[in-house]
Amino acid sequence: MPDSPRLHSAPRASSEAKRKLSLMVCETLGTSSMISPAYVRQMAAYNSWQNENQYAVANGLGEAARRLDRRAFFGSIHATLNHLIWADTMWMSRIAGTPVSYQCGIPESVELFENWQELAEERRRFDAVITDWAATVGNGDLDGELTWFSAAAGRELTKPRWICVTHMFNHQTHHRGQVHAMLTAAGVGPGDTDLALMTVG
């Protein structure tokens, strides 16, 4: 019986190669935005829609189920949603200058709100902040650069502003995907997640 064909993984790019590619991309794209105010408003609406979806489903679970370590990156549903509101607050403070009422790093972000109802209320409140900001974004507001100190990177970073805005929305979707998987594992199915299925108004 012939041997089964082996699958060979492609060689992994080195850290230096990735760094050079990132620099090339930034140099090519420059600081002129590749996203529009309409994109920002669409993604802000999507963020609010999906958070309403996931929080409504998670609210039907018991406290123990929300806090159960499901071996996700941040462990539990509660911890992941805590981290997400923290990250949104940090990014909005950099992008839009919104105030930050709590100071902590990534490790502590998972314990930001101990009480579930307080977490849910803060999520609703801050989604309104993001939506209101998005409504004010105009042509040119996404151009230029943003400089901030990244505790995660351990140094000051400077990136095109539009990339930072895109990252904020991408980061939301990334962690909501983890929550979606945990909710599914808990036996409760979240609603639609496809952007194309979103209705506004």
Domain range 51-189, CATH architecture: Up-down Bundle (1.20)
pTM of the shown model: 0.83
Measured between alpha carbons, how far is 137 from 164 in angstroms, rounded to an integer?
Answer: 14
The gap between the terminal CA atoms of the chain, to the nearest Å, is 62
State both tokens at 60: 């039907």
Q: Which residues pair with 156 in a beta bridge?
A: 149
Domain spans, the chain: 51-189
Is residue 8's pLDDT more than 60?
Answer: no
State both tokens at 68: 């159960």
Is residue 108's pLDDT more than 90?
Answer: yes
Is residue 29's pLDDT more than 80?
Answer: no
Share of the chain above pLDDT 90, in %: 69
